[in-house]
Amino acid sequence: MSNVLDIASLQGRWLFAKERVLAQNVANANTPGYKTANVVPFEAVVDNIGLQMTSTSPSHLQAEVSQVASFAQEDAADGATFYSGGDVNLDQEMLKSSEVMRDYALNTAVVKSFHSMISQAAKG
Amino acid sequence: MAMDNLSASLAIAGSGLSAQSQRIRVATENLANSESTGKTPGALPYTRKILSFDQELDAATGAELVTIGDVEADRSPYRIENIPGHPAADAQGNVKLPNVNVLVELADIREGARSYEANLQVLKQVRHLETLTIDILKV
């Protein structure tokens, strides 16, 4: 059970880091020579800490961690530069930002539901 | 750690807001003075101002803030019109007018407003993230 909360908090911190990078890109959209910054995909973060879901019964669904967070990481388009600015694509950053919003809403909803499950179990 | 990133986001978006508003201010100054000439014969008119954006590392949060570099004078040549009798006209009746292109300034203000809006949007979304975090407690 705690594994779910661990992953949730890890993803929460990752999403905050992503939001910060997005804020940086948007603020520096007009800075000459600024290069769009990106974060490491969450998939890679999860792989790094070796947190794996295991199936303890044959009836369990196949656990695939890579499907837990498949965040496509678009790389900045090469060579596209704005007038007097860096290579930041504002629309794309806004799109990514709303993605962060949606993911975090899902994240907190999962945490809440697990929290209520733990409370139910504790009450008996 | 986690909240750190969110407050850094707020600081970054805030720096973007102030940078863009200064940009709009400079463009507005250029626009307002697009016809300001000198008062004595041969005097120089208003010179267009240019500002540049710069990055600055904020030591407190480690965030890459955006700042305004020096506001400099545009070195492009002045417009010259022949208006004999103008206070600033030289011996040939030529008057130097500011090197301001109204359309360019308008476009710059428009782009500044768009970037300002984008930063505001980031502020809103960070606030939403914080609300979601607090909502975890409200079961």
- B104's CB contacts (< 8 A; 6+ apart) are none
Query: Which residue of A16, A27, A34 is in closest CB contact with B119?
Result: A27
Question: A57: distance to nearest CA of chain B, Å?
Answer: 31
CA terminus-to-terminus distance, chain B: 24
Q: Would the CB atoms of B136 and A112 count as touching at under 8 Å? A: yes
Question: A17: distance to nearest CA of chain B, Å?
Answer: 6
pLDDT digits (tens, 9 = 90+) for A40-97: 888 777 766 555 556 677 776 554 443 333 333 334 333 333 344 567 888 888 888 8
Report pLDDT for A80: 35
Query: What chain A residue is nearest to B138 in terms of C-alpha separation?
Result: A112
- B73's CB contacts (< 8 A; 6+ apart) are B47, B48, B49, B50
Are B71 and B121 in contact by the 8 Å Cβ rule? The answer is: no
Contacts of A105 in chain B (CB under 8 A): 132
- B47's CB contacts (< 8 A; 6+ apart) are B73, B74, B98, B99
Query: Which residue of B19, B23, B136 is in closest CB contact with A108?
Result: B136
On the question of pLDDT at A120 being above 50, the answer is yes
Instruction: State the average pLDDT for chain A.
Output: 74
3-state helix, strand, coil in chain B (%, to 5): 45, 20, 35
Report pLDDT for A78: 34
Helix B2-32 to helix B102-135 angle (10° resolution) is: 160
Q: Which among B83, B118, B98, B33 has a CA at the least distance from the CA of A82?
A: B118
Number of A to B CB contacts under 8 A, please give it: 111
pTM: 0.73
Q: What part of B 45-104 touches A (C-beta under 8 Å)?
A: 52-55, 63-66
Q: Would the CB atoms of A16 and B125 count as touching at under 8 Å? A: no
Question: B45: distance to nearest CA of chain A, Å?
Answer: 26
Kindly state the average pLDDT of the residues A7-32: 88
Tens of each residue's pLDDT in chain B, 139 residues: 444 788 889 999 999 999 999 999 999 999 999 999 988 887 899 999 998 888 887 777 677 788 888 888 999 999 999 988 888 888 888 999 999 999 999 999 999 999 999 999 999 999 999 999 998 887 6
Q: Would the CB atoms of B55 and A98 count as touching at under 8 Å? A: no
Q: Which among B92, B109, B123, B93 has a CA at the least distance from the CA of B22?
A: B109
